Structure 1
Amino acid sequence: MSTFFYRLAWLVLALYFRVYHRLSLVGREGLPATRPLILAANHGSYLDPPAVGVAFPGVVRGLAWDGLFRVPLLGGIIRLLGAVPVSQEDRRSAAGVLRLTLHLLERGESVMIFPEGRRSPDGTLQPLEGGAALLALKSGVPVVPVRVDGAFEALPTSGCFPRPRKIRVTFREALLPEDFAGLPDREARRAFLERLRQALLPDPPQGS
């Protein structure tokens, strides 16, 4: 991956999100200083990956279905942003995705994952897949829950063109795998997944 082209794509997308979506960031100053990190975000829109990538102060890699690389414009953008293609076969295989992601982490690269597995049809947080907890506990890498608000309203699953809706990206407190080290494997995964689910929920309305 070319760092130059990543930065160029980052600058273009940053301008787009700040102007068109009035992007705001919360909690970025609290990110762990160590790398690599796993960014685990809620997923309601195709805008989520670039929004999180722009919000994160560093290079972050993500996995994308290889069919997306053949889509005009989109394919070029995600390639410049360092997305790693996942074949249809690996896409169906949790083991294949886990293997690819662990490989990136072992190389010291931060990665972006979407524990819901697919875009939410209504913008609400869907049940999390167990692979997120397995990946975190197996790699020992800190997981930063990332809450994206407004992206679904800007470009829902039924939408074709982004609307000028405000988007906010919130970095929550990191989950440390060592905090679950004393638990049996299955219980550790269940406890980790619940902590992650709670962290990805929207903030309660003010005054409630």
Structure 2
Amino acid sequence: MIRALLQTAFAGTSAVGLTGVFSVVVSAHSLRGAPASADAALHTWGKAVLASAGVRHEAHGLEHIPREGNVIFVCNHQSHYDAPLNFAYIQKHTRYVAKEELFRIPVFGPALRIAGNIPVRRTGGEEDRARLAEAVTAVRERVSVLFFAEGTRSPDGELKPFKKGAATLAIQAGVPVVPLAVSGTRLILPKGSRAVRWGQRVALVVGEPIPTQGLTMEGRDALTRRLEGAVAQLYAEARERSGDIP
């Protein structure tokens, strides 16, 4: 019991401290126009946060990520540890579409904005549409974007219906969509638990890109359903690899 409490305290303190330090580092690199250096810092941050909770992690299918050009990544969402897992392995200049509340957190929030992440209110209102319209230009010219397409974390590990934002942006920007699935991250700190499950296995599985060339907005719903199916298939593999089998 004492060991579990000490491990939890270490993981929590480390995650907060690492995030604070790397927020400053990423902001500094972003402000001086050095995205590659900011990406390297995010990669180190992801690995360090996972290590601080004793997480055993692996990734498969990374060869499916195109080396050239920008893409939209679409992933399921289970835990605050999803982002560190993604940044630990995705070797591509990538930023997130994230809920606006995160941008209000001291130090971390401004760093999110400076680094080029996109805040949304998830209401589907005019402000969200305007921000996604700006993201179209960003994806075409300088950065890949990752969506947690369910819109919020799944507390029970079951996939929730996908929002249409990822398909909308991909079609408007004319870039492929790369489906991803993560598993095991929700078990690091299970809902209702106060203790980190030290040594938890987690897995990231990457699928083949789905092209959007020639698609119009009329095909947005069909693309969203296709993405749901692709992520569901990858998620089944990720669950086996992480040991989170229902």
Normalising by structure 2, what TM-score?
A: 0.69
User: How far 1:162 sits from its partner (Å)?
Assistant: 4.7
Q: How many Å apart are 1:11 and its aligned residue?
A: 1.2
Distance 2:138 2:99 in 1: 16
**Corresponding residue number in structure 2 for 1:62:** 96
Q: Which residue of the partner structure matches residue 167 of structure 1?
A: 202
Based on CA coordinates, which of the two structures has the bigger radius of gyration? Answer: 2
Percent same amino acid among aligned pairs? 27
SS in 2 for 1:23: strand
| TM-score normalised by structure 1 residue count | 0.80
Question: Which structure has the highest helix share of the two?
Answer: 2
Contact 1:120 1:157 in 2 (8 A): no
2:80 corresponds to: 46
Cα 1:30–1:5 shift into 2, 3 Å: closer
Q: Deviations over 1:142-188 (max 9, x none)?
A: 1100100111112456566753321111111110012xx3x7742x2
Q: Does 1:195 align with 2:223?
A: no
RMSD of the alignment, in Å? 2.9
Partners of 2:147 and 2:164 lie apart in 1 by 12
Alignment equivalent of 1:15, drawn from 29, 33, 48? 48
Distance 1:160 1:146, change over 3 A: farther
Query: How far did 1:18 drift?
Result: 5.2
Deviation at 1:74, TM superposition (A): 4.8
Note the C-alpha offset of 1:194.
1.8
Please give the alpha-carbon distance, in whole angstroms, between the structure 2 residues aligned to 1:105 and 1:96.
15
| Shift in alpha-carbon separation, 1:77–1:154, aligned structure 2, 3 A | farther
Match of 1:24 in 2: 58
Question: 1:171 & 1:96 partners in 2: Cα distance?
Answer: 30
In the TM superposition, residue 75 of structure 1 has moved relative to its aligned partner by: 4.1
CA contact (8 A) 1:46 1:155 kept: no
- Matched residue pairs, number? 200
Q: Pairwise mapping of residues 103-118 of structure 1 onto structure 2 (< 5 A)?
A: 103-118=137-152
SS in 2 for 1:128: coil
Point out where structure 1 has 5 or more consecutive residues left out of the alignment: none
Q: Distance in 2 between matches of 1:122 and 1:101?
A: 31
